[in-house]
């Protein structure tokens, strides 16, 4: 039997949060729990932050790819240490996708 308070919390949580359940190898839960505790976070906070950082990294890589493609299309090859697409990689991507570089760039910008 649930109390009114428990029902209210469950209703609030259902309205406010999405739940994500993941399966990890045996022993990982304790490792994540310890790592989170070491920095004063809950497991949820720890895993949410790790996921967010990974997503931000993927977005930043996509922006760098788009920037590199725009440079190549403008006949200004990227020259700094942030270059992640060289001319061969540009040709490989376009060939793999069966598109020219401009169509490839448009597809990336839509992601």
Query: What is the pLDDT of the chain when averaged over all its residues?
Result: 78
Residue 59 lies in a domain: yes
How many domains is the chain partitioned into structurally? 1
Top mean pLDDT of 20-24, 37-41, 50-54 is at 37-41
Helix (H, G, I), strand (E, B) or coil at 2: coil
Question: What is the value of pTM for the model shown?
Answer: 0.50
Judged against a pLDDT cut of 70, whether residue 107 lies above it is answered with: no
Ramachandran category for residue 98: left, alpha or beta (phi over 0 → left; psi -120 to 50 → alpha):
left
Residue 34 lies in a domain: yes
- 61 Cβ neighbours under 8 A, 6+ residues apart: 84
Q: What is the pLDDT of residue 54?
A: 80
Residue 101 lies in a domain: yes
12 vs 71: which has the higher pLDDT: 12
Residue 2 lies in a domain: no
Residue 42 lies in a domain: yes
Residue 1 lies in a domain: no
| Structural domain harbouring 58 | 7-110
Record the tokens describing residue 107, joined without a space.
Answer: 């597809």
Inter-axis angle of helices 101-110 and 87-97, nearest 10 = 80
Q: Contact, 48 vs 83, CB < 8 A?
A: no
Residue 70 lies in a domain: yes
Number of H helices and E strands in the chain, helices first, is: 5, 0
């Amino acid at each position: 039997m649930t109390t009114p308070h428990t029902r209210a919390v469950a209703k609030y949580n259902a309205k406010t949060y999405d739940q994500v359940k993941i399966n990890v190898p045996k022993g990982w839960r304790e490792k994540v729990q310890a790592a989170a505790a070491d920095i004063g976070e809950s497991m949820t906070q720890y895993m949410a932050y790790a996921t967010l950082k990974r997503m931000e990294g993927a977005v930043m890589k996509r922006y760098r790819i788009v920037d590199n493609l725009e440079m190549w299309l403008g006949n200004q090859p990227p020259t700094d240490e942030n270059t992640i697409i060289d001319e061969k990689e540009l040709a490989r991507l376009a060939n793999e996708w069966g598109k020219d570089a401009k169509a490839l760039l448009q597809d990336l910008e839509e992601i």
